Amino acid sequence: MSIKDELNGELKDAMRTRDRNRSDVIRQINTEVARTLKAPGFTGEADDELYRKTIASYAKKMGKALVEYERLGDRGAEAAAKLRFEVEYLGRWLPKGLSEEEVAALVDAAVQELGATDVKDMGRVMGNLMKQHPGLDGSTVTRLVRARLSAAK
3-state helix, strand, coil in the chain (%, to 5): 80, 0, 20
Element (H, E) at 82: helix 77-90
Q: pLDDT tens across 11-37, in order?
A: 999 999 999 999 999 999 999 999 999
Check residue 152 and give its pLDDT. Answer: 65
Identify the domain containing residue 71 by its residue range. 3-93
Provide the CATH number for the domain around residue 13: 1.10.1510.10
Q: Rounded distance, CA 6 to CA 47, Å?
A: 12
Residues 86 and 114 in one domain: no
Residues 112 and 58 in one domain: no
pTM above 0.75, yes or no: no
DSSP states of 1-27: --HHHHHHHHHHHHHHTT-HHHHHHHH
Of 93, 113, 129, the position where a domain reaches its end is 93
100-121 residue pLDDT tens: 888 899 999 999 999 988 889 9
